Structure 1
Amino acid sequence: MTFGIADISRQVPIRQVGDGKLNSFFGYYNKTNFSVDDRFLLANRTPMFTGNLTGKEVAEVGYFDLQDGDRWHKLGETTAWNWQMGCQLQWVGSTGKIIYNTRATGASGPANVYPDFRSTVVDPASGESYELPLPIYVMAPNGAFALTLNYSRFIATHKTIGYLATEQEPELELAPEDDGVWRMDIATGKTELILSLRQLFDFQHVPSMDKAMHWITHMEVNPSGTRFLFIHRWTERPDDEFCYLHRLFTMNGDGSDLRLLEDTDHPLPQLEADYDPSQHGTFDYEKSIYQISHPLWKSDDEIIVWGPHDGEIHYQLYDDRSGAVTVIGRGILTENGHMTYGRDGRWMLSDTYPDDRTNQRALFLFDTHKDRRYDLGAFYTPSDLGKHNRCDLHPRWSRSNNMVCIDSVHEGSRQMYLLDISGVRERL
């Protein structure tokens, strides 16, 4: 065992979900794909293993029944998806309904915003469904409302998580008043713009914002649904992630009480005319000392994030009320990952990006009481998948916290895997 790290992978049973005839994946780490009783597992399925998406590729939407031999239940199809986040498929609170993003076929939503995309709510028990006027980005834990962003703006700034337009990509202003964060009521479909990009442009403005494209990403709602967090990013060179600048914010669910927790505005030598962005590897940006990424609520008032503070980059735990910051896993957790806390707040689940030498991604639990990391496994990823087609592990807790679900390509196709951690958690 190296300092603070133990390999317990041989003690953790792992199995592939489903028959593997199609490629199966869920996407992001910030929500569980397990039903409230841990029986059903949401997923997307496609015959493609990898490939650049054009907006015409169809993905199946549905769930596996883990108590019936992983039998697949198809609920619908969509062309509004990507490899990183899927179609934002998720459970609607504890209702048993699901919601996912779809491509528009009828009249558009709010004027000049999201003309191409919608979301669909399905009740698996009855088969009934209805369409909402906007796509979703994140759901409130109780399923009452969703927050959303402009997926066409992601195509211009962070293509990995965007959806291509049905016809032609829209022309985007740098920081408009009519684009930003929208709130949508799930029962009624009522929509409201609660924060504009122009408001962020004006909030504690710095000169690097003047000629930059602005966007919002990594939105998350706190457990009680009262506040949400997000990252505000801006850049003059959207094709080079090393030119991204970041601010971490929180605010109330109606757009009030905006709080700036971290600002990484800094000089950018990458903007010089002779700078060559090709000198960087695929995942070098994820290891940037200036990056704020993957923030998530630990509680109503605490936020875990990978990012810099006081000149050091770590897993940082922010207090939303006081602004106090605590380093998590100093000297042990030394690289970026996709982290979430278990229900008791003691265990943190996370992963790493591929090792430059072995192309292995690590999956681990971190015991915040003992400051010890327990590696659950290492998973190979082909080095030629690239950024847009990659398959991050994106680990997700089951509701009971006895299982972990990951997406992985270590066996030659894109599949979901279940790891049983009930035994090791009891022993540790």
Structure 2
Amino acid sequence: MSNKIVNASQMVQVRQVGDSRLHSFFGYYNKTNYSHDDTRLLANRTPIFTGDLTGTEVAEVGYFDLTDGDRWHKLGETTAWNWQMGCQLQWLGKTGKVIFNTRASGPSGPENIYPDFRSCVVDPATGERRELPLPIYVLPPSGEFALTLNYSRFIATHRTIGYPATNTEPNLELAPEDDGIWRMDTRTGETKLVLSLRQLTEHQHVASMDKATHWITHMEVNPAGTRFLFIHRWTERPEDEFCYLHRLYTINGDGSDLRLLEDTDHPLPQLAADFDPNAHGTFDYEKSPYQISHPLWKSDDEIIVWGPHDGEIHYQIYNDRTGKVQVVGPEVLTENGHMTYGTDGRWMLSDTYPDAETDKRALFLYDTKTDTRYDLGQFYTPSDLGKHNRCDLHPRWSRDNRRVCIDSVHEGPRQLYLLEIGALLDELA
């Protein structure tokens, strides 16, 4: 092991959240589930451990009170969820309210292009609830608006993060003019299409787009709420991730000033008639030399991403204004993972996918000041859990950056765990 990789697990306390009566998880890494005072922890709870979702399975939505023995407070239920992202549950700015995706129970409104899905805002203090006309994908820190995508399109292109239809899956055009990125005001519910899939196919068009199905994923809003990033993907063979083609973009909140930061259009031998997609393991694609994945804003102008640039794949930082690209930790950050920066910009939190021999994932902190990786622990996952049902660690910072929350199955059930990292950071300060 490199002397730039340090086993710091003995300095980190790990504990499970809650009582294990139900399986608990949060989902993605790109937002914190901690309340603004770090006393409440958002989560989803379900009686099932795994399984291919049909859209009828119910998940509880609520929070654990960390000041009251992890007491569970249920805020609602939903059938619009998946194992990777949950129901996109998140705190609505600094209002103290929460927002999450739900399934429509009545007729769709005239402005709702996704008739199966909605989002719901709940005030934990009063129990007051209100429905918004579209589901959500990501919010800026202010919570003033939400960006959203077509979760039914994900079922056809990237099932892991989609929601099954209530009745019949819709027929999807390859790149329609009325589907893409929608912006919704979280106060009024007013919606606007800011970028269509058709527009993306016309932007620096390449031949591989002609017969492909197109979609957008991994949207993130910068801290100021002025620009957002996303990945445009397309493929003729949605069932095989090795056939995905990728572009990394940024754009203004109103749909102007579209910028292409990276393009991984590449040869696709996987389209050959004799290619066997079953020859690959569950996580092999996450190690593809062409994949762009898990981009996040480090600042209003900088983006951290796992992806290729100039023929090499690394953690990379892109400057959205200048286009300059800088490799991060090339000697110690050698695997794809789910990364976020702490508030001071010094520490990056991330994980790895399971090791092929041990089935364990590493959780670590990377010190940008010393170019050193500090491993916080190794967490086992069953090798047969599957692609759509897997449990990635998806590490998330507390607001004060003294704790980390992960989803894990290393002790059997699917549960949330907290890691106390304050003492380690104090020693390394």
- TM-score, normalized by length of structure 1? 0.99
SS of residue matched to 1:139: coil
Partner residue of 1:225?
Answer: 225
Q: Distance between the aligned counterparts of 1:283 and 1:198, measured in 2?
A: 31
How far off is 1:107 after superposition? 2.4
Contact 1:3 1:332 in 2 (8 A): no
Alignment of 1:199-218 (within 5 A): 199-218=199-218
For each residue in 1:151-185, what CA deviation from the matched residue of structure 2 results, as whole angstroms up to 9, or x when unmatched? 00000000000000000000000000000000000
Alignment of 1:160-179 (within 5 A): 160-179=160-179
Aligned partner letter, 1:89: L
How far off is 1:252 after superposition? 0.2
Partner residue of 2:77?
Answer: 77
Q: Distance between the aligned counterparts of 1:323 and 1:110, measured in 2?
A: 40
Q: Distance between the aligned counterparts of 1:108 and 1:218, measured in 2?
A: 26
Alignment of 1:364-379 (within 5 A): 364-379=364-379
Partner residue of 2:45?
Answer: 45
Contact 2:45 2:61 in 1 (8 A): yes
Contact 1:231 1:247 in 2 (8 A): yes
Q: Distance between the aligned counterparts of 1:113 and 1:179, measured in 2?
A: 8
Structure 1 residue runs of 4+, over 4 Å off? 109-112
Contact 2:111 2:191 in 1 (8 A): no
Alignment of 1:8-27 (within 5 A): 8-27=8-27
Partner residue of 2:195?
Answer: 195
How far off is 1:105 after superposition? 1.0
Instruction: Work out the number of aligned pairs and report it.
Output: 428
1:143 aligns with 2:124: no
The gaps in structure 1 that reach 5 residues or longer are none
Aligned partner letter, 1:64: F
How far off is 1:106 after superposition? 1.6
Q: Distance between the aligned counterparts of 2:125 and 2:269, measured in 1?
A: 56
Q: Distance between the aligned counterparts of 2:359 and 2:221, measured in 1?
A: 33
Partner residue of 2:89?
Answer: 89
Q: Distance between the aligned counterparts of 2:82 and 2:121, measured in 1?
A: 19
How far off is 1:236 after superposition? 0.1
How far off is 1:27 after superposition? 0.1
Aligned partner letter, 2:178: D
Partner residue of 1:54?
Answer: 54
Partner residue of 2:419?
Answer: 419
Q: Distance between the aligned counterparts of 2:242 and 2:3, measured in 1?
A: 32
Q: Distance between the aligned counterparts of 1:325 and 1:245, measured in 2?
A: 20
How far off is 1:115 after superposition? 0.8
SS of residue matched to 1:406: strand
Partner residue of 1:396?
Answer: 396
Aligned partner letter, 2:30: N
1:114 aligns with 2:96: no
Contact 1:109 1:134 in 2 (8 A): no
Q: Distance between the aligned counterparts of 2:104 and 2:49, measured in 1?
A: 26
Alignment of 1:266-345 (within 5 A): 266-345=266-345
Partner residue of 1:361?
Answer: 361
For each residue in 1:116-137, what CA deviation from the matched residue of structure 2 results, as whole angstroms up to 9, or x when unmatched? 0000000001110100000000
Aligned partner letter, 2:15: R
How far off is 1:109 after superposition? 4.3
Q: Distance between the aligned counterparts of 1:286 and 1:379, measured in 2?
A: 18
For each residue in 1:20-40, what CA deviation from the matched residue of structure 2 results, as whole angstroms up to 9, or x when unmatched? 110000000000000000000
How far off is 1:226 after superposition? 0.1
Q: Distance between the aligned counterparts of 2:112 and 2:270, measured in 1?
A: 33
Aligned partner letter, 2:294: H
Q: Distance between the aligned counterparts of 1:393 and 1:80, measured in 2?
A: 21
1:34 aligns with 2:16: no
Larger deviation, residues 212-221 vs 111-120: 111-120
How far off is 1:2 after superposition? 2.7
Q: Distance between the aligned counterparts of 1:118 and 1:392, measured in 2?
A: 26
The gaps in structure 2 that reach 5 residues or longer are none
Q: Distance between the aligned counterparts of 1:126 and 1:387, measured in 2?
A: 39
Partner residue of 2:153?
Answer: 153
For each residue in 1:75-103, what CA deviation from the matched residue of structure 2 results, as whole angstroms up to 9, or x when unmatched? 00000000000000000001000000000
Q: Distance between the aligned counterparts of 2:319 and 2:110, measured in 1?
A: 35
How far off is 1:324 after superposition? 0.3
How many percent of aligned residue pairs carry the same amino acid?
78
SS of residue matched to 2:214: strand
SS of residue matched to 2:401: coil
Contact 1:114 1:134 in 2 (8 A): yes
Contact 1:59 1:79 in 2 (8 A): yes
